[in-house]
Structure 1
Amino acid sequence: MSEHDHSGHSHSGSTKLLIVSLVFTSAYAGVEVAGGLWANSLALIADAGHMITDSLSLGIGAFAAWLSQRRASKTLTYGYARAEVIGALVNVLFMLGIVVWIVFAAFERLANPQEVGGTTVMIVAFIGLLVNVAVAWILMRGEKNMNVRAALLHVMGDLAGSVAALLAGFIVYLTGWLPIDPLLSLLISLLIGFASINILRDVMRVLMEGSPSDVDIDELKQSMGEISGVVEAHHIHVWSLSSSRHALSAQIKLDEIGEWDAVLPRLQALLGRRFGIQHSTLQPESGSRSILENRGKNVDGNGSSCSGKL
């Protein structure tokens, strides 16, 4: 089976996991909103907001996994990988909007405390805790690609939110101290806010064509230079097509230009195995002379090649 085919099956499995998790999370988010309104609990509504944003994240991940299986075209030569990044940008802006709403509502509740149904809050939050544990278990059984890991991180945040809501209901039930509800809702909003900012930073790094955070350029250059037959790798550019797909272009100075056919597979193996880069465009050079003076090839990391004078 080719590497391309294997990747397609991987995305298909991720899509199924994310859809199942999406159904669980979305269904309970609705229950939690209803319970929060019934009990007049901002902590429950805040946790429901967190679950809704996670549902969006799961939905975007599932859609991106499905969309990434579509073939590249003449106008989208890298395919639809960036759809994941654009969707993540929309998602994170929505998450930040929810944080602002929760913060304003919490301060309003602190200034004007309102009665909260502690028993209802505890029951709904406890069921939410069980749902989040079930979703986390589903995701941990699957392949740990970027989409699934990100979804799992959000679910762990949901677990913390459910515990906070459960604690709020318990304290209100025992003591009647109403400020605990908006205070814990502020804590939940901080969880959402930090997660949102981290995602936004990663999204902007991809959109600005920044080098991936998990690729050390100095280490990459040194490792390429240690390949037998390579004098130096320079003019290196590394960028992300999506959260899990990286691309590279570089010029490779060789001891002998005639060794290129042997050197190229070694470089491709290094880039794929050690740095997770499957899309590469490598231009060979002979000594200090440009390949413009030599007969060579411009070959991409997927095996496509174009022979002739470059």
Structure 2
Amino acid sequence: MHSHSHCHSHSHHGTSDNASKRIGWAFFLNVIFTIIEFIGGWLTNSTAIMADAVHDLGDSLSIGSAWILNKLSDKKADNTFSYGYKRFSLLGALINGLVLITGSIWILLEAIPRLAAPQMPQAEGMLLLSIFGIAVNGFAAYKLSAGESLNERVLNWHLLEDVLGWVAVLIVSIVLLFKPWPILDPILSIAFTLYILFNVARNLKETVLLFLQATPNEKQDKEVRNLLLSKPEVNKLHHFHIWSLDGEHSVMTVHLVLRNEVTISQMKALKNQLQEELATFTFVHTTIELEFSDEQCRDGI
């Protein structure tokens, strides 16, 4: 005898129009400024500004994908995407990571040779661009700070990091106005780039693992398993899976093998109890199949 318990709970982060407007503002500011940066980096002959432009390009992609996903998350699940559209964020993160790695390698290929033969960048232009950078990123961060969605909070951190990056460019440009130390420019760009690569590699690893449907949280996995096995009606479990749609929203499925003497009323009570206790894990979808120990599982063990 099979009994299915389907529990659905839908949580939408930042599906309001206000969140979309704020993210849209930040996106357009970042894209326009990234273009200005690449031109400015080329005109001032500064690899540090070019490195920051690559960082900002990554942020533009993040904000752009977050903006699209913010709109997509309003869409309900359909026949094509039965779990909804949350998994698109993983695709966005993967593309973003690959673009940033390509850009970072390009910056390193430009900056490393300059350590041996440093070229003096135009310090005045660097100074002007850094002030502009602090103002633009600071304003975008201020706009997003009003938001409460996870998307907005994460993007806000990105923008605050950019502000700090521009503060570093500002300090170097002021030093270069007084001291002709052109080697500071490639050193700063390599430091920026290695920082970007470190973060991208970490996020990319997490994204790939989620794509491959690895267990998102091993501690949680153990807790849920122990909770299910702690019930006196449950003999053992199999086909136990927890996987994540997007790193935030997880799905859980399991087959519970019951003791043979369990009655229908006990099964109902068990289902109600599990529904309450599993609620603390905030799964967006759970499927529990109940089986008796003397029956053959159709999926195999």
Give the match's secondary structure for 1:220. helix
Give the CA deviation at 1:156: 3.5
Matches of 1:26 and 1:228, distance apart in 2: 58
Matches of 2:222 and 2:270, distance apart in 1: 20
Gaps of 5+ in 1: 294-310
Q: Is the CA contact (8 Å cut-off) linking 1:248 and 1:279 kept in structure 2?
A: yes
Write the letter of the residue equivalent to 2:270: V
Aligned residues: 288
Q: Is the CA contact (8 Å cut-off) linking 1:221 and 1:234 kept in structure 2?
A: no
Write the letter of the residue equivalent to 1:73: D
Matches of 1:140 and 1:266, distance apart in 2: 40
Give the CA deviation at 1:211: 0.7
The percent identity for this pair of structures is 28
Q: Is the CA contact (8 Å cut-off) linking 2:26 and 2:140 kept in structure 1?
A: yes
Q: CA distance change for structure 1 residues 204 and 149 in 2, over 3 Å: closer, same or farther? A: farther
Matches of 1:114 and 1:164, distance apart in 2: 19
Match of 1:204 in 2: 208
Q: What does the per-residue CA deviation read over 1:36-85, in whole Å, with 9 as the maximum and x for residues that have no partner?
A: 22322111121121111100011111112222332333232223222211
Match of 2:267 in 1: 260
Give the CA deviation at 1:128: 1.2
Confirm whether residue 158 of structure 1 aligns to residue 165 of structure 2. Answer: no
Q: What do you get for the CA RMSD once the two structures are aligned?
A: 2.7
Q: Is the CA contact (8 Å cut-off) linking 1:106 and 1:182 kept in structure 2?
A: yes
Match of 1:138 among 143, 149, 152: 143
Matches of 1:254 and 1:140, distance apart in 2: 50
Give the CA deviation at 1:186: 0.4
Match of 2:286 among 280, 283, 302: 280
Match of 2:223 in 1: 219
Q: CA distance change for structure 1 residues 234 and 292 in 2, over 3 Å: closer, same or farther? A: closer
Matches of 1:18 and 1:159, distance apart in 2: 17
Q: Is the CA contact (8 Å cut-off) linking 2:250 and 2:285 kept in structure 1?
A: yes
Question: Which range moves more in the overlay, 217-226 or 275-284?
Answer: 217-226
Write the letter of the residue equivalent to 1:219: E
Matches of 1:225 and 1:19, distance apart in 2: 47
Q: What does the per-residue CA deviation read over 1:185-217, in whole Å, with 9 as the maximum and x for residues that have no partner?
A: 001101210121112111111111101137521
Q: Is the CA contact (8 Å cut-off) linking 2:214 and 2:243 kept in structure 1?
A: yes
Q: TM-score by structure 1 length?
A: 0.82
Match of 1:51 among 50, 56, 61: 56
Q: Is the CA contact (8 Å cut-off) linking 2:133 and 2:166 kept in structure 1?
A: yes
